[in-house]
Amino acid sequence: MTAIGARLFGDASIWGNFLSHPQGFLLITVTDLRKVYRQGDRDVVALDGVTLRVPKGSVHGIIGHSGAGKSTLVRCLTLLDRPTSGSVSIGDRELSSVSDAELRRARRRIGMVFQHANLLDSRTTAQNVAFPLELVGTPKQEAARKVAELLKLVGLDRFADAYPSQLSGGQRQRVGIARALATDPDVLLCDEPTSALDPATTEEILDLIKALRDRLGLTVLIITHEMHVVKRACDSVSLLEAGRIVESGRLADVVASPGGRLSMALLPLPGEAPEVLPGGPVLDLLYSGDAAAMPVISGIARRFDTDVNVLAGSVEHLGEAQFAHLRIQLPSSADLAAITAHLTANGIAVTTKEA
């Protein structure tokens, strides 16, 4: 387990603690989850064996187009729909086989944030946040104290008596997040949390989610169709397609795997990057971290005394690290083998487009 964890998730500091405690390491474990719907007289496979491991304290993104099975996955994770087969567990508690009463208790360990916040319009901000506490009969004073604390945490203490209709989309989502945190959950499950928000508000909400993870030690699962959300907020990511996870791993690792679908999506070459041009070999360079900080292009030019033509490129900060994806063309006279070897030796993934 530890070895796999280290390989998948690297050894960044937040993972370190948990690697040494293999027992409490994985918080969300989904194993071979299948969901088959009966539609008329034919079966529709919405989830086709989804397996997912999310370590405690991480922000994991699940990205997929509409129809990939995202909504079904969320409904199965919270047991709003019973999976056809497979298991879901949070911590060491298996959810898919428990009784209704136990399920209700287990659900209180999951805080859920919805695309449209799903606040109750008949309640004020404070009453909405108090809702989960009311369900378990928390004494009024204690609930009021907790609600005040949560509203302060999400920066809405001045809006305690406002109704949802008086709040902006971003504020409503903050209320939704405060409400999700009311029962001190271990997991924050976010279903398209920013898809209904404008770009600036999206940033705010994602920053808030990350800050809460750091402060409360939450494990966060974000389901989204926006690559931007993954770039901005996630430590690791899974690509969901036709009910299957087709790629998965730490952000730094999936970005750095050349030819990968997530890599292409996370670091796309801008515009209509020409695949092949007459004149010389075209190289795709993918590099990260320390390598991204090096003057790669001028380095090649000096060392091999050649011209380098940059056709397209993108450079991005993802999480803590910098990543670059460049498409360059060399003159036909250039020593392709030597240059490729030199780049590879420096930790740069090279894909040659024309031999």
Partner 1 sequence: MDILNDLFSNPGITKALPTAFAETLQMVGISGVFVVLIGLPLGVILHTTAPGGLTPAPWVNAVLGGIIVNITRSVPYAILMVSLIPLTRMLVGTSIGPVAASVSLTIGTVPFFARLVETSLREVDFGKIDAALVMGSTRLQVVRKVLLAEAMPGLVAALTTTLVTLVGFSAMAGLIGGGGLGRLAYNYGYQRFDTTVMLTTIVIMVVLVQLIQFVGDRVSRRVDHR
Stretch touching partner 1 by CB under 8 A, among 21-29, 82-90, 100-108, 142-150 = 100-108
Task: DSSP for 227-246, please give it.
Answer: HHHHHHH-SEEEEEETTEEE
Cα–Cα distances in Å, from 44 out to 62, 73, 245? 21, 14, 17
| Cross-strand pairs, 90 | 28, 93
* Shortest distance (Å) from residue 59 CB to partner 1: 20
> In this complex, which beta carbon is closest to partner 1, that of residue 20 or of residue 165?
165
Stretch touching partner 1 by CB under 8 A, among 11-19, 23-31, 105-113, 289-297 = 105-113
Residue 55: its H or E element: strand 42-55
Selected binder of partner 1 within 34, 108, 225, 228 (CB under 8 A): 108
Could you tell me if 329 and 300 are in contact, meaning their C-beta atoms sit under 8 angstroms apart? no
Q: What is the CA radius of gyration of the chain?
A: 23
* Ranges of H-type helices in the chain: 2-9, 13-19, 70-77, 100-107, 125-135, 140-153, 169-180, 199-216, 227-233, 251-255, 261-266, 289-292, 296-304, 336-345
Stretch touching partner 1 by CB under 8 A, among 110-118, 235-243, 257-265, 277-285 = 110-118
Stretch touching partner 1 by CB under 8 A, among 119-127, 227-235, 240-248, 249-257 = 119-127
- State which amino acid sits at residue 58: S
Residue 45: its H or E element: strand 42-55
Could you tell me if 254 and 266 are in contact, meaning their C-beta atoms sit under 8 angstroms apart? yes
Stretch touching partner 1 by CB under 8 A, among 90-98, 104-112, 198-206, 217-225 = 104-112
Selected binder of partner 1 within 54, 59, 112, 153 (CB under 8 A): 112
Q: Does 44 bind partner 1 (CB under 8 A)?
A: no
Q: Does 193 bind partner 1 (CB under 8 A)?
A: no
* Shortest distance (Å) from residue 26 CB to partner 1: 22
> In this complex, which beta carbon is closest to partner 1, that of residue 136 or of residue 276?
136
* Shortest distance (Å) from residue 101 CB to partner 1: 9
Q: Does 164 bind partner 1 (CB under 8 A)?
A: yes
The Cβ of residue 182 has, within 10 Å, a number of other Cβ atoms equal to 24
Q: Does 196 bind partner 1 (CB under 8 A)?
A: no
- Tokens representing 113? 């944030």
Residue 287: its H or E element: strand 282-288
* Shortest distance (Å) from residue 112 CB to partner 1: 5
* Shortest distance (Å) from residue 138 CB to partner 1: 12
Q: Does 20 bind partner 1 (CB under 8 A)?
A: no
Phi, then psi, of 263 in degrees rounded to 5 = -60, -45
Binding residues for partner 1, rule CB under 8 A, total 26
* Shortest distance (Å) from residue 124 CB to partner 1: 8
Report which of 333, 228, 252, 286 is spatially closest to residue 15, judged by C-alpha positions. 252
Q: Does 121 bind partner 1 (CB under 8 A)?
A: yes
> In this complex, which beta carbon is closest to partner 1, that of residue 98 or of residue 312?
98
Stretch touching partner 1 by CB under 8 A, among 7-15, 88-96, 99-107, 224-232 = 99-107
Selected binder of partner 1 within 8, 19, 86, 114 (CB under 8 A): 114
Q: Does 107 bind partner 1 (CB under 8 A)?
A: yes
- Tokens representing 143? 């609930």
Query: Residue 217, SS3?
Result: coil
Report which of 39, 90, 45, 92 is spatially closest to residue 69, judged by C-alpha positions. 45
* Residues found near partner 1 in the complex (CB under 8 A): 78, 80, 104-105, 107-108, 110, 112, 114, 116, 118-123, 131-132, 134-136, 163-165, 179, 183
